[in-house]
A and B are shown apart, each in its own frame.
Chain A
Amino acid sequence: MLSRDNWKEIFETIQKNKLRTFLSGFTVALGILIFVVLFGFGNGLINTFDDFFGDDATNVLFVFPGRTTMPYKGYKSNRTIEFDNSDLEDIEKNFPLFVEYISPRITRQDTVSYMNESNSYRTQAVGPAHQFSEMTIMMKGRYLNELDIKNKTKYAVIGRLVEQDLFGSKNSIGKYIDVGGSSFKVIGVFQDDGGDNEERIVYIPYTTRQLIEKNTDKINQIVVGFKPEIGYAGAMALDKSLDKFLRSKKFINPKDQNGIFIRNIADQLKQNQQFARVLQIIVGFVAFGTIIAGIIGISNIMVFVVKERTKELGIRKALGATPKAVIGTILLESVFITTVSGFVGMLIGIAILSSLGEKLKDFFITNPYIDTSIAISATIVLIIFGAIAGYVPARRAARIKPIVALRDE
Chain B
Amino acid sequence: MIEIKDLHKSYKMGSNSLHVLKGLNFSIAEGELVAIMGSSGSGKSTLLNILGMLDEADSGSYTLDGVPIKNLNETKAAKYRNKFLGFIFQSFNLINYKSAMENVALPLYYQKVPRKEREEKALKYLEQVGLKEWATHLPNELSGGQKQRVAIARAMAAEPKVLLADEPTGALDSKTSYEVMDLIQNINDEGNTILVVTHEEDIAHMCKRIVHLKDGVIVEDKKVEQVRAAQYVK
Contact = CB atoms under 8 A, between A and B. Distances in A.
A406 B55 CA distance: 12
B81 A399 contact: no
B98 A320 contact: no
Nearest to A321: B110
A316 B49 CA distance: 16
Contacts of B52: 318
Contacts of A315: 93-95
B154 A319 contact: yes
Interface stretch (B1-9, B82-90, B186-194, B213-221): B82-90
A320 B49 CA distance: 15
Contact of A320 (B95, B102, B111): B111
B54 A319 contact: no
A322 B75 contact: yes
A19 to B, nearest CB: 11
Interface string B61-90: 000000000000011001101110001010
Interface string B26-66: 00000000000000000000000100101100000000000
- The bracket for how many chain B residues form the interface is 20 to 34
B168 interface: no
Contacts of A311: 93
A1 to B, nearest CB: 12
A401 B97 CA distance: 23
Given A5-B115, A315-B93, A402-B54, A322 B74 contact: yes
Nearest to B89: A406
A406 B93 contact: yes
A4 to B, nearest CB: 8
Interface string A291-325: 00000000000000000000110111111111111
A290 to B, nearest CB: 33
A111 interface: no
B93 A322 contact: no
Contacts of A322: 74-75, 78-79, 110
A9 B118 CA distance: 13
A320 B108 CA distance: 9
A197 interface: no
Contact of B110 (A13, A312, A320, A401): A320
A323 B97 CA distance: 21
Contact of A403 (B55, B98, B110, B111): B55
A319 B55 contact: no
Given A8-B115, A401-B55, A319 B107 contact: yes
A323 B74 contact: yes
Contacts of A398: 74
Contacts of B79: 320, 322
B106 interface: yes
A16 interface: yes
Contacts of B112: 5
B232 interface: no
A402 B55 CA distance: 8
A319 B115 contact: no
Given A8-B115, A316-B106, A403-B49, A323 B78 contact: yes
Contact of A401 (B54, B98, B102): B54
B109 A9 contact: yes
Given A401-B54, A401-B55, A402-B54, A321 B78 contact: yes
Interface in B165-198: none
B70 to A, nearest CB: 16
Given A319-B110, A320-B111, A398-B74, 18 more contacts: A5-B114, A12-B102, A16-B97, A16-B98, A314-B93, A315-B93, A316-B95, A316-B106, A317-B78, A318-B54, A319-B107, A320-B110, A320-B158, A321-B110, A322-B75, A322-B79, A323-B78, A325-B78
Interface of A: 5, 8-9, 12-13, 16-17, 311-312, 314-325, 398-399, 401-403, 406
Interface of B: 49, 52, 54-55, 74-75, 78-79, 81-83, 87, 89, 93-95, 97-98, 102, 106-107, 109-112, 114-115, 154, 158
23 contacts: A5-B112, A5-B114, A5-B115, A16-B98, A311-B93, A312-B95, A315-B93, A315-B95, A316-B95, A318-B54, A318-B93, A319-B106, A320-B79, A320-B110, A320-B158, A322-B75, A398-B74, A399-B74, A402-B54, A403-B54, A403-B55, A406-B54, A406-B93
The 6 closest A-B pairs by CB, nearest first: A320-B82, A16-B97, A403-B54, A320-B110, A322-B78, A319-B107
